[in-house]
A and B are shown apart, each in its own frame.
Chain A
Amino acid sequence: MLHIVNKSPFERNSLETCLSLAMDNSTILLIEDAVYAAMQGGKFSDKMASAAEQCSVYVLAPDLQARGMPDEKIISGIKTVDYSGFVDLVADNKNVQSWL
């Protein structure tokens, strides 16, 4: 299952709710302001690092770039995808949940 999160964890609790309910081995994609959760050294970085061990965590690269966030600052274990990769993630997962 693919979980799509689009809000910063500093703004809303949708990412935390998603992490608490996502099953192991599911896939999580961070887009829009949720890409802030992929950065090292933040309040949520420990939680994200452990999520990346249990699930496949991806972040949308164009949204990182739009916010001036360099690739080397991404928490290790989190992978980047472009829009084409986003489409592949949706195609590869039978269920897609947007955490709005």
Chain B
Amino acid sequence: MKFAIQVNEGPYQHQSADTAYQFTKAVLEKGHEVFRVFFYHDGVNNGTRLGIPPQDDRNITKQWTALAEEYDLDLVVCVAAAQRRGLLDENEARRAGKDADNIADKFRISGLGQLIEAGIQADRLVVFGD
């Protein structure tokens, strides 16, 4: 079965960012397909590579990157939500005249149409948030 995941909550806020990751991992381990993971609202903060959680804590961004590498996941960050929160890739940083970008490996910035497409293409869309 094809799943799509929407993440509305930032990392280390409450628990939804962790739940979304654990759920996505379980979906993949059971042999289902994940069409896309869409990060929306504060959820875009899951995609910054500049976070430095303590060494004995989980690194949520790295967990997503590792899962995406293992299963070739499509991790999409909403562009409008990302711009508001200072989450930029190289292109966006250049376009906005910023001095750096901060998006983590395997994440990409795109529009809300990607969420709509995921909702249409997947058999199930599961939303995690605050």
- Are B30 and A32 neighbours in the complex by a CB distance under 8 Å? no
Main secondary structure of the interface of A (DSSP, over half): helix
- Are A84 and B30 neighbours in the complex by a CB distance under 8 Å? yes
Contacts of B19 in A (CB 8 A): 6, 31-32
Question: Is B108 on the interface with A (CB-CB < 8 A)?
Answer: no
Question: Is B129 on the interface with A (CB-CB < 8 A)?
Answer: yes
Question: Is A21 on the interface with B (CB-CB < 8 A)?
Answer: no
Q: How many residues of A contact B (CB 8 A)?
A: 17
Q: How far is the CA of A87 from the CA of B124 in the complex (A)?
A: 10
Assuming the A-B contacts A83-B25, A86-B23, A100-B8, are A91 and B32 also in contact, with contact meaning beta carbons closer than 8 angstroms in the complex? yes
- Are B124 and A91 neighbours in the complex by a CB distance under 8 Å? yes
Assuming the A-B contacts A6-B19, A87-B32, are A96 and B130 also in contact, with contact meaning beta carbons closer than 8 angstroms in the complex? no
- Are A87 and B127 neighbours in the complex by a CB distance under 8 Å? no
Q: How far is the CA of A39 from the CA of B25 in the complex (A)?
A: 28
Contact pattern, A 57-74, Cβ under 8 Å of B = 1, otherwise 0: 000001100000000000
Task: Tell me which residues from 13 to 35 in chain A have a Cβ below 8 Å from any Cβ of chain B.
Answer: 31-33
Mark A residues whose CB is within 8 Å of B.
Answer: 4, 6, 31-33, 62-63, 83-84, 86-88, 90-91, 96, 98, 100
| Closest 3 A/B residue pairs (Cβ) | A83-B26, A98-B127, A32-B15
